[in-house]
Chains A and B, each alone.
Chain A
Amino acid sequence: MKKLSRYDHTQPGAIDPAQCNGCGVCMLSCPVWHQHRTKALTYCGRNRAAIGGADEDDLAPSAAACILCGSCEPLCPMGIRTQQSTLALRRNLARRGLLPNPRVARDRKKPERAAASRLIIPGASLRDNGRIISAVLRVLGGEAKLHADDGSDLLLSLEAGGEVSDAQIQEYLAPLEGVPELIVADGLMFNLLYSALPSPKSMLPLGPALLRDPNVRAGIKSTDFYMIETRAYNAHRHAFVELYSRLRRETGCTTNLDLQRVATPTGASCMQHREGLKTIISIEEQVKWLLEGRRPARIVVEHPDDLEAFSRYTKLPVVHLAEVAKP
């Protein structure tokens, strides 16, 4: 796998319109664009409005509409980090009360030192799903342990534009330093940890970590639709695109990669959906689009939230990647 690029959530400045040339390529894979065809609600729209002279306040509806799937990120020919730029815009807006602000992390318990050679940061949705946790632990082997503090409260706060102090982040990171291998189920958490930890020895999103196991790969069939977790993949496409191209070649499955090799989301793991906030993204429409013209016999997902999304809107069997492993 190629080297992952650094991802910095803390970079100041809401957006960097000066670099945007307005090509609009970032809109092409954006689910908000796909469902609404309203440029103002896309990353490109936010940039173009700002270049034209719009105030940050004017961009609030657009910033709130974004589901941070990161599909725009690998496409920008100017290399603008769209995900983190939207997070920064949200921070600025939330500070002025212009965004709905869900729970904010407070009064965190001091985390315990993590003692494992392979530590899984489960994120809220894996943490709450015992069946999948067992399957994941089975595949990853005896040395893998679930981290008690998954940091999802911090993440939620970051996603919402809330204030998370440096001290809180440092406190969360301290026990993770020096862990030989970290496996992170939530894509945004992966991106954050990857940028924040000084030198992660080995850190992988859950999907690629599970795919290292030949039994897992052998369990994927040509009639499967394989749903890649979008946030980590899109932020680090250059590192993972070959892995999934190979998976496609070797198994014959179809995936949620579009013609630009960007991962299309269901929208199920975004903050708005998880927190029951108003969202303009219909998961049903996303699922319909993902399966349009495709006739899979089964859906295999990397992110636990996508299990529910597909189960609700299709009659197909839906399984987590950890569950497909051939014994």
Chain B
Amino acid sequence: MNNAGKYEAFDITPPQPGIIPACPVSPDALIGIPRQQTNPCLWDGSEWRAFVSELASKEIHVDERNASRLLYVTDAGGMAYGRPGGVLIARSTKMVAEVMKAAQKYGVPVTVRGGGLTTEGETVAFGGLQLDMRGMSAVLEIDKEHLTVRCEAGIYWHSLAEALRRHGLDYLSAPLNMTSSVGGTLGVGGIDINSPRLGCSADQALAIKIVTPTGEILECSESENAWWFNRVLLGYGQFGVITEATLRIRHFTPLTMHYFYYGDLRTAMEDLVMLCDEDAADYAGILTMLDRAVNLLVAFDTDERERAFFTTWRKRLRGFGELGFAARTGLYYILRPWKYREALYLLERKRTLLPELRPAHHLSQGKIVDRTVVFSQAVWKFWGGRQMVIPDLATSREKFFEAVLRGNEVCKKYFPHYTLYCVGIKIVGPPERYELSCIPPDAKGIAYGCEFEPMLEGRTYSRDHLQSFKNEIYDIGVDIGTSYYRFGGMMKGYIRRVFGDTLVDTHLAMKRSVDPAMVLNRDVIF
């Protein structure tokens, strides 16, 4: 797997589009030393004017005002900075098709952005056109009988939920982040705490309308243009722009949530794996506060599932309820008074975070009514900042423990406080869909993922510090052979090391054949 040795150390000449540059993380780099990040270089701008004029002749007006371009200088990660030459808010599939035709003709890079929640600069344009898909946010058709929705792909999951709820319906799974878009999520995967049952968000798509990199409009599903369907889903925007999607949906139900607390991460992980393997809960995930305060969250859509859990699985869980855990933890710290800071931190977390996860106005008869709103608000409030540093590893069941425990040690080196967020991801689609994606090639049945989320707590960290931390987490993936929820952008240098030349070159050849000028989301992967 590890091909890094093949490359010369550090090459400063701008690579040609389509050539993955030499990995700047040299194979013999000392673990933890500050690393170079792999921001691509600025596009030279040739033919930009001709591109803009051609679009203008078709009544498509690129916004070149400074204030508009400045809106897009970074993504949620806040580590990569670039500026597009102009911005276009997508308003129709036809418009996107015209853009891609002109982009091919003039060789102008097009960087597609949904919510822009990438953290490695994948949605940051380094020159060229920024195509903001959120102008296409309509809900086109709700089919209550067959439980499907057709929507435009720029729509935020939250806006989709808002529209569906009026009809007593809900989406199946989406990132715990209200400002991610349907198209962006289908492009990268999308992990929810119900992913151990339902797979990733991309797996909820029954059909998509895409614009190919050469501007062709295609309707794709497992039965129509299936190659495109499985290339574009989880394809990091390399093979097409998703403009519409038909998704499976469900009847809305509030959910009941339970927390179990562990004094040990490995035990909690074992229990999570057991719950996922045995399909014991509708939602399951781990959130850590400290090594000795680990929270296993389970939730249920129906009372029957909840009852079944308490009859069959609760007794097998080794975690405690809130009171039992508080008593044990209290005793632990009473016997170790020198650890009072840790105890205070835990108390503070309990005081501030727990109420945010159960706000009265989002509860109805003890059940959580708007889980995404609750979680997303909490995520931004407690972990959010100008820089979102959330490296992750996605592994097979076998590698899950090593990956997380090693990552946990890395977190400790860099930050006083952090959270690990672990979930399972059921593999429900055909294998070709997951090639070169967040689903690791060696995972069978259920893959597991872990996000490592430092609490920046208003402190200022240097970019080098944050980047070194991320690299050290990503290095674990290279070392033991995992994948990542997010890759590309500044992680581009890792891709060959993780997936190997054969697979990457196969995809590069496919990319070249469908995107001859290599303009769509240039530098994200290719």
Q: A residues touching B (Cβ–Cβ < 8 Å)? A: 21-25, 27-28, 34, 37-40, 45, 48-49, 51-55, 58-59, 75, 77-78, 241-242, 245, 258-261, 292-294
Q: Which residues of B contact A293 (CB under 8 A)?
A: 163, 166-167
Among candidates A21, A52, A53, A54, residue contacting B385 with C-beta atoms closer than 8 Å:
A21
A48:B89 contact, CB within 8 angstroms: no
Known: A28-B156, A28-B158, A38-B89. A58 touches B67 (CB 8 A): yes
A52:B70 contact, CB within 8 angstroms: yes
Give the tally of cross-chain contacts (CB within 8 A). 93
Among candidates B132, B134, B163, B381, residue contacting A77 with C-beta atoms closer than 8 Å:
B381
B68 to chain A, nearest CB (A): 6
B85 to chain A, nearest CB (A): 15
Q: Which residues of B contact A294 (CB under 8 A)?
A: 166
Among candidates A40, A45, A48, A242, residue contacting B361 with C-beta atoms closer than 8 Å:
A242
A28 to B177, CA, bound (A): 12
Among candidates B76, B162, B165, B361, residue contacting A245 with C-beta atoms closer than 8 Å:
B361
A54:B386 contact, CB within 8 angstroms: no
Q: Which one of B3-11, B282-290, B369-377 is at the A interface?
A: B369-377
Q: B residues touching A (Cβ–Cβ < 8 Å)? A: 65-74, 76, 78, 89, 115-116, 132, 134-137, 154, 156, 158-159, 161-163, 165-167, 178-179, 360-362, 370, 373, 376-377, 380-381, 384-386, 388
A37:B134 contact, CB within 8 angstroms: yes
A49 to B63, CA, bound (A): 14
Among candidates A23, A40, A75, A245, residue contacting B71 with C-beta atoms closer than 8 Å:
A40
A48:B71 contact, CB within 8 angstroms: yes
A37:B385 contact, CB within 8 angstroms: no
Q: List 17 A-B contacts (CB under 8 A).
A: A21-B380, A25-B376, A28-B159, A28-B178, A34-B159, A38-B135, A40-B67, A49-B71, A52-B70, A54-B66, A55-B67, A58-B65, A58-B66, A58-B67, A241-B361, A259-B158, A260-B370
Known: A21-B386, A52-B73, A259-B161. A37 touches B89 (CB 8 A): yes
Q: Which residues of A contact B158 (CB under 8 A)?
A: 28, 259
Q: A28-B159, A28-B179, A261-B362 are in contact. List 7 more A-B contacts (CB 8 A).
A: A34-B159, A37-B135, A39-B71, A40-B71, A77-B384, A241-B361, A292-B166
Known: A27-B179, A28-B179, A259-B370. A21 touches B384 (CB 8 A): yes
B361:A54 contact, CB within 8 angstroms: no
Q: Which residues of A contact B386 (CB under 8 A)?
A: 21-22
B71:A37 contact, CB within 8 angstroms: no
B134:A39 contact, CB within 8 angstroms: yes
A242 to B166, CA, bound (A): 21
A261:B67 contact, CB within 8 angstroms: no
| From A58, A59, A293, residue with most partner B Cβ within 10 Å | A293
A259:B162 contact, CB within 8 angstroms: yes
Q: Which residues of A contact B156 (CB under 8 A)?
A: 28
Q: Which residues of B contact A39 (CB under 8 A)?
A: 71, 132, 134
| From A23, A53, A58, A77, residue with most partner B Cβ within 10 Å | A23
B373 to chain A, nearest CB (A): 5
